[in-house]
Amino acid sequence: MTALHTDFARAPVPETARRGSLWVAVTSAAWIIAVTTLFTGGSLGVSLGLTQALIAIVIGLSLIAIIGGLLGQLGAKHGVSTAMLAHYTFGKYGASLLGVVIALTLGVGWFAWQVSFFAVTLREAFPDEVWSEPRWSMIWSGTLMTATAFGGFKWLSRLSMVAVPLVLALSAYGMFIALEQAPIQSETMPDGSMNLFGGITAVVGSVIFGAIVLPDISRYARSRLGGIAVSSGYVGAGLIVMVAGAVMATAVAVPAIGQTANIPAVMGALGMGFAAFFVLLFAQWTTNDSNLYSGALGLSAATRVPKGILVIAMGIAGVTIASLGIQDQFVPFLNVLGTFMPPVAGVMIADYYVTSRSRSEAFDASSPVPTLNYLAIFSAIAGGLIASVLANLGGVFAAAAIIGFLSAMILHILLTKIAQTMRFATAAGTSLL
């Protein structure tokens, strides 16, 4: 079984396969330069106006940098993915459950939704081209995304080295065209549908899932500071793309679709032509293959099925779901699962950096791990429930991702300290990794 098929899904990445900081930074950048990131920036610009949109983007991405950096550093230190790191925090069965959740959300659900979203967006930008007809564009785009995800980190990083500079340059090009045609002082008035805190929430919520699985990339970092590299690449690219979306949407008077900026129409009004096509293609390609890649890693960690086989199976499933037009039926379910992912990140950070700093971790097949850490699982579930309940209150509590992350992290630290003081067991059984 070759590394191409397994991609070290259940073992630390060996030193011989690791790469420099530039490679992991650019690869992580590719995970955020999605069409949806452009749309997020554009929608913030339409709703808040350019100035407040920029503030929301900077604050929101600063929070993401902290979360992604802490988790990314764990991946760089131990050489393993998010799903494998979870074995010490949640136990063998808890980590397996997390791997299945990552697979269902990223590898199938959001992969299918993004394939469909790309096809619809491409048709909006090029309504008369045969290759943009959604039935065909779903197939050829889904095939491209599946192919690079199958190739593992090597193929992802090589594509990223081409796509990231191209997308960032074209995004900057669109931003400068917008500023030339309509200077900042003449920006359109915000529609008032969102306040600043809502904008920060939108930024965090749109990209936090990617930050949680950044260890999937940083495990390939040669430097022990790989967490800084992946976080810098992820947040830096997100900043450029979101700001470009905000500037373009506020500088060009194109009607929004509800509260969502019509980025293809904006690009058309700016005269970007085929530059817009390359932005849409490479942005979606490099982000959605990462969804499939992380989904397959998570499921491989849970099932021991080779990652390559899972990539093909999940890619076919995602394209089929998108082609049948039923991907939107999964969105409520995906949102529910997504509510509990930030609390998972909070518990993992609390576990590795606060409550179990003296623990010695090894990630070989004979390493003993808890069978089930029920205290960690309880903290994650409780954090998600707290976030869901408080979100109904609105205002500062509407930031479900942030509230869930902080609630679970604080709760896990407090409960663990109480359990240690009272000498209560926090986990049951011992299993081999």
**Tens digit of pLDDT for each residue in 363-422?**
988 889 999 999 999 999 999 999 989 888 877 777 788 899 999 999 999 999 999 999
**Tens digit of pLDDT for each residue in 131-146?**
889 989 999 999 999 9
- Which of the residue ranges 81-90, 151-160, 389-398 has the most confident prediction, judged by mean pLDDT? 81-90
**Tens digit of pLDDT for each residue in 305-349?**
999 999 999 999 999 999 998 877 777 777 777 788 899 999 999
pLDDT for 45 equals 87
Better pLDDT: 361 or 351? 351
Residue 278: exposed, middle, or buried by beta-carbon count in 10 A (0-12, 13-18, 19+)?
middle
Alpha-carbon gap, residue 307 to 3, rounded angstroms: 10
pLDDT for 192 equals 58
pLDDT for 186 equals 44
Asked if residue 371 is part of any domain, the answer here is no
Alpha-carbon gap, residue 109 to 298, rounded angstroms: 14
Range of the domain at 32: 3-358
Rounded to the nearest 5 percent, the helix, strand and coil shares of the chain are: 75, 5, 20
SS3 category, 218: helix
Total of domains in the chain: 1
Q: What angle do CA 230, 232, 233 make, to 5 degrees?
A: 65
pLDDT for 259 equals 56
Asked if residue 420 is part of any domain, the answer here is no
Tell me the average pLDDT across 117-131. 84
Residue 428 sits at φ, ψ, to 5 deg, of -120, 130
The type of residue at 16 is T
Give the mean pLDDT of the chain. Answer: 88
Asked if residue 428 is part of any domain, the answer here is no
Residue 274 has pLDDT above 60, yes or no: yes
Residue 263 has pLDDT above 80, yes or no: no
CATH of the domain at 193: 1.10.4160.10
Q: Which pLDDT band holds residue 13 (cuts at 50, 70, 90)?
A: very high
Alpha-carbon gap, residue 317 to 297, rounded angstroms: 16
Asked if residue 372 is part of any domain, the answer here is no
Asked if residue 367 is part of any domain, the answer here is no
Looking at the chain, the whole-number percentage of residues with pLDDT higher than 90 is: 52
pTM score over 0.75: yes
pLDDT for 5 equals 57
Asked if residue 368 is part of any domain, the answer here is no
Asked if residue 27 is part of any domain, the answer here is yes
Asked if residue 389 is part of any domain, the answer here is no
**Tens digit of pLDDT for each residue in 27-63?**
999 999 988 888 889 889 888 888 899 999 999 999 9
Q: Which pLDDT band holds residue 277 (cuts at 50, 70, 90)?
A: confident
Tell me the average pLDDT across 85-103. 94
Q: Which of 152-161, 191-200, 224-233, 316-325 has the lowest average pLDDT?
A: 191-200
User: Token digits for 156?
Assistant: 């992802």
Alpha-carbon gap, residue 294 to 229, rounded angstroms: 18
Q: Could you list the beta-strand ranges (E) of 4-85.
A: none
SS3 category, 323: helix
